[in-house]
Amino acid sequence: MNTIVALLVAMSSIQHEIKAEADILKVAEAPQLANPVCLEVGPNFEIFIAETYRQETFGVPDNRTFPEWLEDDLRLQTVEERGDMYRKHHPELVEKWTTNEDRIMLMRDLDGDFIVDKSTVYAGGFDDLLAGTGAGLLYLDGDVYYTCIPDLWKFRDTDGDDIADMRENMQTGFGVRVALRGHDMHGLTRGPFGRIYWSIGDRGYNITTKEGAIFAEPGRGAVFRSWPDGSDLEVFSYGLRNPQELAFDDHGNLFTVDNNSDAGDRARLVYLYQGSDSGWRMNFQSLPDRGQWMRESWWDASEKDHPQFLNSPLANIAAGPSGLAHYPGVGMGPEYDDSFFLADFRGGSDYSGILRFTIKEDGAGFAFESEEEFWWKVLATDVCFAPDGSMYLSDWVKGWVGDGVGNVFRADFAGADIHAQQQSVEFLSCDISELRNETLINLLSNKDKRVRQRAQFELVNRHAVPQLHSVAVNAQYPTLARCHALWALSSLSRIQGRNHLPEICLSDGDAQVRAQFLRSANEIHDERSEAWFVEGISDASPRVQYFAALGLAHYPGHLELLYGHATTADRFVRSALVEAVAAQAPPGELSSLIVKHTRDQRMLSVLALRKTRSVELIKFLDDSNAQIRDEAICAIYDCEIISAKEQVAALSADHNKYSSASVRRILACKNFIGSKAYAEELHSYASDASNPDYLLEEVAVYLQKWAAPHGFDMLLNEWQEFPLRDTDSVKGMDLDFSSIKAEGPLVRGKKIFSENAVLGCTKCHSMSGVTPDGFVNLAGPDLSGIGSKYDAEQILKFITEPRPESAMPQDISEKMSDSELSDLVDFLSGQKDKTVTLNLADENSIEFKEITTADNKTLYVSTTEVSWDVYDLFFLREDEQIEIDGVTGPSHSVFPVTRGYGHDNMPAIGMTYAAAQNFCIWLSAKQNHNFRLATADEWRAALGEQEISAQTAWLAENSGGAPHLVRQYAANGNGIFDMIGNVEEWVTDPSAPEGMTMGGSFMDKASQLESGLSSIYQISWQARDPQWPKSSWWMSDAGYVGFRIVTDSRPETASL
């Protein structure tokens, strides 16, 4: 149940909504803190806050505010080059941008009431020209880690005055580019083996580690890990946009929620596994269509045809993901076990707060389970748990840039285990050196993940191998205790140079133990481990297979074994196989195996070659399998394997042979190579109006700029150096391309609304048909149907004169040319509400949705089947009413017309084809408007691309043998409910003079409908009707047939 918690703050009432019984306490407010980006609660309830005072024009700029340097920014390769760019474009701002500082505040409660009494600047001075937002904090055994582009810092207060007197720059080189504000370095957390993990947004990195390794991806977000001393730093996962926080679950699996690109996509819940590529690059942001990200739906968790290399999201959730925390196991009721809590920052407190979500294991990976708005109406930037398991959040209060205010709130929840809380508080703050090994071993079974972890690391420090070994092999211990023991033994193996892992765990009856055993072996990589990986890859558990395959990456000579598992249906196991094959295959060997390899094995080779960016991918361009060809083409282009582009260019731009994604890359390669023959092929393609419009437009640009091509690639937006080309190739060619449809103002306006990164309209606004179906962004008004509410003049005023209280930038109209502003207004004023409600008698109504049919005709379709509530207005008329209506009414049935299924909001069923048509005649007369049954083709247009599945419709698999209330499942893409299943629907068709039904019913299985959606009337539908001829009104044996209605013009309510 939703609990509304009222807080009296500065004489005004603030209301938070929280879906739990809880006491909410404001523990800190300005001036104790301001502009809190993130927080960390230490073992003694001390609160560390990362404050920022440098947003936007005060030191941390944004490409949307400074578009004049965009192309320079897209070409930056080092952090130092960014400083040169600042000085080149705005030397006058250098001093201003180094005036304010970001800093860390340390706040303490001195009297035990949890309310802050003392606030101290723990560390400051982060005001360098190249400094970003300080956005990550981690307290670790007295050290405080802090991420502030371009550096990862470590601090310690050695004299107890709450001011750090030791500071060490652990690593520099993060944040090569400007990108968008907030895409900084953050996400500090500790992993199961003791490494620290952190993330960076798509501002990218170019770093040289302590060991001399170089990692450089100047425009991609990533997750890093290293030991606490900064050694052995590596890139763990990449291709991310802005993964602000990271969180491990109880079993050491890592997750983030990555932000969307403000182009109608949604934020993504991502399982981060080693070597995973989520596909994003910063340069997509400034492409109008966001490149492959939007064009190929890489962001969409529901997309079933993602490329194989991609780490597809588990779900699309949230709108402004920032802080993320996994419930540690104490402080709340057991119903919250294994929950994640996500700060969803949307720019205003009314529509922001903390989301709770859950996931479940699915093979070697995970599947999304549920989400809810847990603690709402607070502009939260971060969330974490205190030693007693109470929840703390940092509150930005208002706006986007920071107004010098901020709060910290604490929630104490009913249902928590008080004894467990007390134990956590005592253990997390105690002098651990005083505890005996036996006590620490017992604590490995504690409910609190933090307690288990602290005990684990202390047992490592004590080299307690025998005690840990006894826990790892003993099935009487909880699984989690055994996992921690294995992780500890792995650490000791690494430290001592001797493998302490108990081999018997590889045959344990608990699949989780077997998996964690091999995960632990992956930290060692000695001779014993190799045999374990070889055995484990054939385990029945996909999770065990995953860690086994990952381990084999370190042992050459197992290609045949790895390829033997290429048929796996588990995408996470496949990803580990790819890592292993890529690591151990000598150059040229993979492509030489093509002839004897199966389709799955060849796909494995292609994915491995993509990992290594190998030119050998060209051997797969003419593969017999279309998916493999497409994957190879995309790998060559997207990984910028320049030496292989000639071979891609030589391919035909054949949509029958290649996907549109591949054809797009083939065309781009022809433009890149630039020969006369390719110019002629491009011209031929552009002259064929049957090709996709967006590709025709791109090819036209290639040819029109042939002599001096633009340096930035149109697909990746990466800078490219073109080889010498025949600049005279296009002479004499007709470059008007009349086959390409000219964009009108409505199309141009839609692109401005949905694709213009400077304006970022979809960052706050939703719109039907533009932003994702079923998701409403509450940061700004939903603009669906705005043209039905306001005229063009009013809309123009909203844009040029925003209300003072509006979150819309006051100067937004100045960011457009006059023609762009005109196009945007034309587009918005043309957005008419496609939902029409026809009001009927007795407070009944029929809702219609406007659709466009295959022959480009406008049609209004009732969003549900006609219900009994509406059908009764026709069916239950008295004789005198029928005489007045002039339309014959149905006879009263000899059996209950509802069949006992229910009445209110239930679809009307069992009427004949003639009865359904007579209803339309009656309604048309009453409304002075023509209503009718849909044709079969119109019905299919209304269906759209809706899938046939018991997950989205009432079918035999889930109906319980009965129809259900209308509108129980989500509407399809046209906004229409129950097109599949529930009840069959009468339609008209020349082939069925006695009527045809479409869509199947609650009695049909999904597999039955896949072979056909239509049924023609049979006399058996009235077999039990004793009359002859059979009833003109009712069908005794077809209590699964109903109907919906359509009309050719916008219906208007008339008096009934």
The arithmetic mean of pLDDT across residues 500-523, rounded, is: 97
Name the pLDDT band for 476 (thresholds 50, 70, 90): very high
Contact 27, 18 (CB under 8 A): no
Predicted pLDDT of residue 410:
97
Those residues whose C-beta lies under 8 Å from the C-beta of residue 970, and which sit 6 or more positions away, are: 774, 952
**CATH number of the domain at 19-413, out of 2.120.10.30, 1.10.1060.10, 2.170.150.70, 3.40.50.2000?**
2.120.10.30
- C-alpha span between 569 and 572 (Å, rounded): 9
pLDDT tens track for 549-587: 999 999 999 999 999 999 999 999 999 999 999 998 776
Quote the pLDDT of residue 357. 98
More confident residue, 506 or 724: 506
**What is the residue-averaged pLDDT of the chain?**
91
Query: Which DSSP string do the residues of 626-643 spell out, in sequence order?
Result: HHHHHHHHHHHHHTT-GG
Cα 853 from Cα 588, distance rounded (Å): 52
Instruction: Give the residue-averaged pLDDT of 179-197.
Output: 96
pLDDT value, residue 161: 97
Q: For residue 953, how many C-alpha atoms fall within 13 Å in the half-sphere facing its CB?
A: 27
Per-residue pLDDT at 815: 84
- Give the mean pLDDT of 216-226: 97
- Residue-level pLDDT at 9: 37
Q: Stretch 970-985: mean pLDDT, rounded? A: 93
8 pLDDT above the threshold of 60: no
The predicted pLDDT at position 737 comes to: 65
Query: Which are the contacts of 521, defined by CB distance < 8 A and separation ≥ 6?
Result: 490, 501, 529, 532, 533, 547, 551
Residue bearing tokens 């505010």: 65
pLDDT at 951: 87
Give the tens place of pLDDT for each residue, 72-101. 999 999 999 999 999 999 999 999 999 999
The mean per-residue pLDDT over the stretch 95-119 comes to: 96
- Of 142-156, 562-576, 1014-1028, the least confident: 1014-1028
Helices assigned H by DSSP within 415-464: 418-429, 437-443, 449-461
Note if the bond before 990 is cis, omega within 30 degrees: no
Q: How far apart are CA 224 and CA 231, in angstroms?
A: 12
- What pLDDT score does 1 carry? 43
**pLDDT tens sequence across 249-300:** 999 999 999 999 988 889 999 999 999 999 999 999 999 889 999 999 999 9
Tokens linked to 37: 């980006």
- For residue 762 the two structure tokens come to 């979809």
Q: How far apart are CA 483 and CA 191, in angstroms?
A: 13
φ, ψ of residue 190 in degrees (nearest 5): -115, 135
Q: What is the pLDDT of residue 263?
A: 86
Domain spans of the chain, in order of start? 19-413, 651-740, 745-829, 835-1047
Task: Output the pLDDT for position 1053.
Answer: 60
- Residue pair 544/515 in contact (Cβ under 8 Å)? The answer is yes
pLDDT digits (tens, 9 = 90+) for 700-759: 999 989 988 989 999 999 999 999 888 888 887 877 765 455 566 777 888 888 878 778
Q: Indicate the helix (H) or strand (E) that contains 563.
A: helix 559-563
* Across 858-865, average pLDDT: 95
The predicted pLDDT at position 1028 comes to 75
Closest CA to 655 of 689, 691, 623: 691
**What class, spelled out in words, does domain 745-829 have in CATH?**
mainly alpha
Predicted TM-score of the model (pTM): 0.81
| pLDDT for 738 | 56
Order of strands across the sheet that contains 22-29: 22-29, 407-413, 391-395, 380-385
Q: CB–CB of 551/522 below 8 Å? A: yes
pLDDT for res 4: 53
* Fold of the 835-1047 domain: paralog of FGE (formylglycine-generating enzyme) (3.90.1580)
Q: Supply angle C-alpha 527, 528, 530, rounded to 5.
A: 70
